[in-house]
Amino acid sequence: MVPFLLASLSGALLVLSFPNYGHPIVAWLALAPLIWVIGSVSRWQAAWLGLLTGTVHFLGTIYWIPTVMIEYGGLPAAFAWLVYAAFVLYLALFPCLFAVMLSLIVGRVGALGMLLAPAVWVTTELGRMYLFTGFPWALIGYSQVPFLAVAQAASVVGVLGVSALVVSTSAAIAYVLTAGVRRSRLPVAVTMVVVGGTIVAGAWRVQQATLLTEGVEIRVAALQGNVSQEDKWNPLKSEEILATYVRQTEVASELGAQLVVWPEAATPFPLAADPRGEHIRRLAARLDSHLLIGTTEIEADEIEDRSQYYNSAYMLDQTGETAGIYRKQHLVPFGEYVPLREALFFVSPLVETIADFSAGTGPRILPLDDYGVSTAICYEIIYPGLVRELVLGGANLITTLTNDAWYGRSAAPYQHFQQARMRAIEQGRYLVRAANTGISAVVDPYGRVLARSRLFEQAVVVEKVRLLKRLTPYGHVGDLTAYSLAFVTFLALGVTRRNYQ
């Protein structure tokens, strides 16, 4: 039972690496038990141990999913838990794959192969980021956002590079336990130098803070209307909801905000298809402010004789005219559309309650006078490549509009916010986050929170930001480090396979 206990321990430590009940320092040793035990078991045993680690990890990290499906998807509790279990097992396949690949390498080259654990782990995180539209939630690198000196590495190597750094300490610990202290001196010394050097360089970057003196300064506001899911689409509440955001916009303008950001789907009606949209346009003109508004969009498709629905963000200029529109590209499966909708007749409550949204195509930069603003809607912000593409397209400021009311007071809003902060560090941009029920915030290019709200309160978050142009090293090269580590992994596996033959 010892191997299974050690694998379970790794899963539990991964859970305790993330908010809102964990601590980032735990992540540095989380995978050590699993890596250590992989060195003494067969490949099949390694597969089961990796699956166990992943199962414990995701059961404890995304435990809030069944509640969302039951309360808002209309699914029976038993079926919701069954779907959740299947999803957790799917995600657990990635740690399972990590364990199998590492076992193959260690089985051939011995304990020294444990030191390739960072490369192998990042390879599986890359897979989780892209396969089947991807679900890169709770990548281990995200755990380090509170440690800003460590997190600054993301400006060079991205969140996946930070993952590799964190896993390197677990690999070193496992190697020491297997090979002994004397044989481990050099690998341990190298790991300590790399980690220590990263911390020193990150602390220096934060202290220098050169980005805080560049670019044009403006004042922005993020609105938090605190509208419950029960009220959001209730026709009897629509006037009250609109009045809340109008009032908050006026407060933001009085505080000097030149750009006011509303949350995802803030308007209880499609902005361009409802007469009340004109009231919002007149508001922008009266206050002489840019308004970035999350709303739904309806577009008639004459070819297929039907309408298409988009989860969109409208940028209104100071005259109230539409300056630009962004349509959400990464839709949430079983949240904004149902894959294979016709085949899933047996889950009719879920299918019937979910709108069939269409995905936007390509990056869209929203103009703010002579500058560009990007927006990521809801969980799009957890995709580093998407945000990087928008910055390369000319975004001088990152915004994200979301509605985290689904998740209640669980860990999900805190996890989501932590991942959004990583995008600011990676891209060297200020980030403005408007969330319906929180957390709404303004974050500087180093991941520091300049102002924020609490959960489930009405709030107007106002702060100064700068419209920046300089690209970070990560902005230039993207996930080159992660792909290089994947190449090393497959090279090691190829050599291992050839030697076995």
Tokens of 80: 């919701």
Is 328 an annotated catalytic residue?
yes
- Of 96, 297, 336, 378, catalytic: 378
Does residue 311 have a cis peptide bond before it, meaning omega lies within 30 degrees of 0? no
Does residue 439 have a cis peptide bond before it, meaning omega lies within 30 degrees of 0? yes
Question: What is the CA 336 to chain-centroid distance, rounded?
Answer: 17
Alpha carbons 440 and 403: distance in angstroms, whole number? 10
SS3 track for 112-166:
HHHHHHHHHHHHHHHHHHHHHHCCCCCCHHHHHCCCHHHHCCHHHHHHHHHHHHH
The H or E element containing residue 434 is strand 431-435
Q: Cα(first)–Cα(last) distance of the chain, in Å? A: 33
HSE of 400, CA atoms in CB hemisphere, 13 A: 33
Is 464 an annotated catalytic residue?
no
- The residue to which tokens 């102002």 are assigned: 451
Alpha carbons 428 and 246: distance in angstroms, whole number? 32
HSE of 373, CA atoms in CB hemisphere, 13 A: 31
Alpha carbons 168 and 117: distance in angstroms, whole number? 7
Own/partner pairs, 186-193, CB within 8 angstroms, 24+ separation: 187/115
β 216-224/259-261 pair status: parallel
CA distances, 127 to each of 49, 78, 254, 394, 477 (Å): 19, 30, 47, 28, 19
In sequence order, the 6+-apart residues with CB closer than 8 A to the CB of 395 are: 365, 372, 373, 374, 429
- Of 264, 297, 380, 426, catalytic: 264
Beta bridge partners of 462: 221
Tokens of 244: 């809340």
The H or E element containing residue 272 is none
In sequence order, the 6+-apart residues with CB closer than 8 A to the CB of 305 are: none
Is 378 an annotated catalytic residue?
yes
Alpha carbons 374 and 372: distance in angstroms, whole number? 7
- Of 96, 125, 297, 328, catalytic: 328
DSSP per residue over 370-430, as a string? TEEEEEEEGGGGG-HHHHHHHHHTT-SEEEEEE--GGGTTSSHHHHHHHHHHHHHHHHT--
Contact 338, 356 (CB under 8 A): yes
- Active site positions, annotated: 264, 328, 378
